[in-house]
Copies of this chain bind each other. A is one copy, B any other.
Amino acid sequence: MTTIKDSVHDHIEVVGVAEDLLDTEEVQRLRHIRQLGTVQLVYPSANHTRFEHSLGVYHLASRALDHLGIDGIRGERIRAAALLHDVGHGPYSHNVESVTHRHTGKYHDDVEELLAAGEVGEVLRANGLDPSRVAELVAGGGKYGQLVSGELDVDRMDYLVRDAHHTGVPYGTIDHERLIRELTFVDDELVLDEGNVQTAESLLLARALMNPTVYQHHVARISKAMLRRAAERLLDQPDLTAAELRRMDDTDLIASLRTTPETEAFARRLDCRDLFKRAVWAEMGDVPDHVVDADHEEVDELERRIADRAGVERGSVIVDVPGRPSMTESTTRVMVGGEMRRLGKQSPLVSALRTAQRQQWRLGVYAPGEETDAVGRAAASVLELDADGALVSDVRHGVTATLDEFSE
């Protein structure tokens, strides 16, 4: 048994296949991938890595398996999936995932090939585990995949508490221990046991508050968009494939950006936190549907047209269109009065989350500080924004969190 000291869960005991997996290159690589990517530019303490998070997820999975009475090879498989659930992440976690996905067709939880190959594959097979079944769990498949990737998964429980610990924003401080103690399977569905409506609500509300405050903070979004743009430029170079980019860690990516002439300006801006500023920050109601739904090529074309109209260089405009908020209601299930109920039905708070998500949505257009005025005006026209309300000169005071690290 290996015992590891963790700042969130204190002592984590790693046993069985997980102990062997720890030493693999794929798992050790996660030490060099920050959990929250560029969020560190907003919350300077947020330097925690996918490695410690993966240990935390493994730990909570073990606790849940003990509680649920799952052991043997099935337990080993789930524990392996928990520890490995993030090995598919590229550098800066989610930040450049959309870029690598466009080229490779793979998201970070598509790890079947990865788990079959290399040291991880060897360790899994040596421990009598089929890599493809572990990969299935990582993707959320099957009854037990819900534990690893689902509405009540241990991944979310760990990251909320861990991100709260490291950013200093307390909203993510859920009662993870209670959540785990109340998990149960009913008809192969993972549900929370009787009397846990608030326990379930707290998990979803914590995320709803962390989202705009941390994960989608506008400075995080701007720096993420810049990093994405820089990664695209990097892929324009002849000697790097998207598959290679996906397997870089944060160190590789930053070092590449710094040493490639086409990206060194971005690298310098990110290194010195000399970021683009918001030229537009618009609510969903002010943005035409065809912009909200624009794909990568259409966004590219919009950026080109905005740059033209504003009379600035093509590289000075970034249009950042988040996906539409999911319209599916929460599928979290909780037992109430002896019957399984969807939390979205049971809880007025949770059913309000969909509306809240839509309301938190913002279109961003970013440009160097001295060009935001010109770009903002051009963007309002090209994007056919409903009101000049979307211009940052008007709305910025409504949206700039005054507790940003740097005032902009």
* A residues 155-190 in Cβ contact with B at 8 Å: 165-171, 173-175, 177-178, 181-182
Q: Establish whether residues B177 and A11, one from each chain, have CB atoms under 8 Å apart when the complex forms.
A: yes
A398 CB contact (under 8 Å) in B52, B335, B349: B335
* A residues 205-241 in Cβ contact with B at 8 Å: 205, 208-209, 212-213
Instruction: Tell me the number of copies of this protein.
Output: 4
Q: Establish whether residues A198 and B182, one from each chain, have CB atoms under 8 Å apart when the complex forms.
A: no
Question: Inside 8 A of A4's CB, which chain B residues have their CB?
Answer: 44, 405
Q: How far is the CA of A272 from the CA of B249 in the complex (A)?
A: 13
Q: Establish whether residues B181 and A198, one from each chain, have CB atoms under 8 Å apart when the complex forms.
A: no
Q: How far, in Å, is A249 (CB) from chain B's closest CB?
A: 8
With most chain B CB atoms within 10 A of its CB, the pick from A166, A209, A403 is: A403
Q: How far, in Å, is A332 (CB) from chain B's closest CB?
A: 15
Answer yes or no: A348 CB below 8 A from chain B CBs.
yes
Question: Inside 8 A of A166's CB, which chain B residues have their CB?
Answer: 7
Q: How far, in Å, is A371 (CB) from chain B's closest CB?
A: 19
Answer yes or no: A48 CB below 8 A from chain B CBs.
yes
Question: Inside 8 A of A3's CB, which chain B residues have their CB?
Answer: 181, 402-403
Answer yes or no: A51 CB below 8 A from chain B CBs.
yes
Q: Establish whether residues A167 and B402, one from each chain, have CB atoms under 8 Å apart when the complex forms.
A: no
| Given known A3-B403, A271-B32, A338-B397, contact A349–B52 (CB-CB < 8 A) | no
Q: Establish whether residues B205 and A349, one from each chain, have CB atoms under 8 Å apart when the complex forms.
A: yes
Question: Inside 8 A of A170's CB, which chain B residues have their CB?
Answer: 173-175
Which of A81-89, A250-258, A294-302, A362-370 touches B? A250-258
| Given known A6-B45, A51-B44, A398-B338, contact A212–B198 (CB-CB < 8 A) | yes
Q: How far is the CA of A399 from the CA of B29 in the complex (A)?
A: 29
Question: Inside 8 A of A168's CB, which chain B residues have their CB?
Answer: 5-8, 10
A356 CB contact (under 8 Å) in B52, B178, B208, B349: B349
Which of A20-28, A98-106, A132-140 touches B? A20-28
Answer yes or no: A49 CB below 8 A from chain B CBs.
yes
Q: How far is the CA of A250 from the CA of B255 in the complex (A)?
A: 10
Answer yes or no: A330 CB below 8 A from chain B CBs.
no
Interface string of A47-72 (1 = CB under 8 A from B): 11101100100000000000000000
* A residues 1-21 in Cβ contact with B at 8 Å: 2-8, 10-11
Q: Establish whether residues A402 and B182, one from each chain, have CB atoms under 8 Å apart when the complex forms.
A: yes
Q: Establish whether residues A208 and B44, one from each chain, have CB atoms under 8 Å apart when the complex forms.
A: no
Interface string of A183-206 (1 = CB under 8 A from B): 000000000011111100110010
| Given known A272-B28, A348-B355, contact A194–B251 (CB-CB < 8 A) | no
Q: Establish whether residues B349 and A2, one from each chain, have CB atoms under 8 Å apart when the complex forms.
A: no
Answer yes or no: A95 CB below 8 A from chain B CBs.
no
A272 CB contact (under 8 Å) in B25, B195, B208: B25
Q: Establish whether residues B22 and A31, one from each chain, have CB atoms under 8 Å apart when the complex forms.
A: no
Question: Inside 8 A of A181's CB, which chain B residues have their CB?
Answer: 3, 11, 402-403
Q: Establish whether residues B352 and A167, one from each chain, have CB atoms under 8 Å apart when the complex forms.
A: no
A349 CB contact (under 8 Å) in B31, B353, B400: B353
Question: Inside 8 A of A8's CB, which chain B residues have their CB?
Answer: 45, 168
Q: How far is the CA of A38 from the CA of B25 in the complex (A)?
A: 17
- Look across to chain B and name the residue whose beta carbon is closest to the beta carbon of A400: B195
Q: Establish whether residues B356 and A347, one from each chain, have CB atoms under 8 Å apart when the complex forms.
A: yes
23 A–B pairs (Cβ distance < 8 Å), ordered by A: A4-B405, A5-B169, A5-B403, A11-B403, A34-B47, A44-B51, A178-B403, A181-B402, A181-B403, A194-B402, A195-B398, A195-B399, A197-B212, A251-B251, A251-B254, A251-B255, A255-B255, A336-B398, A337-B389, A348-B353, A348-B356, A349-B353, A349-B356
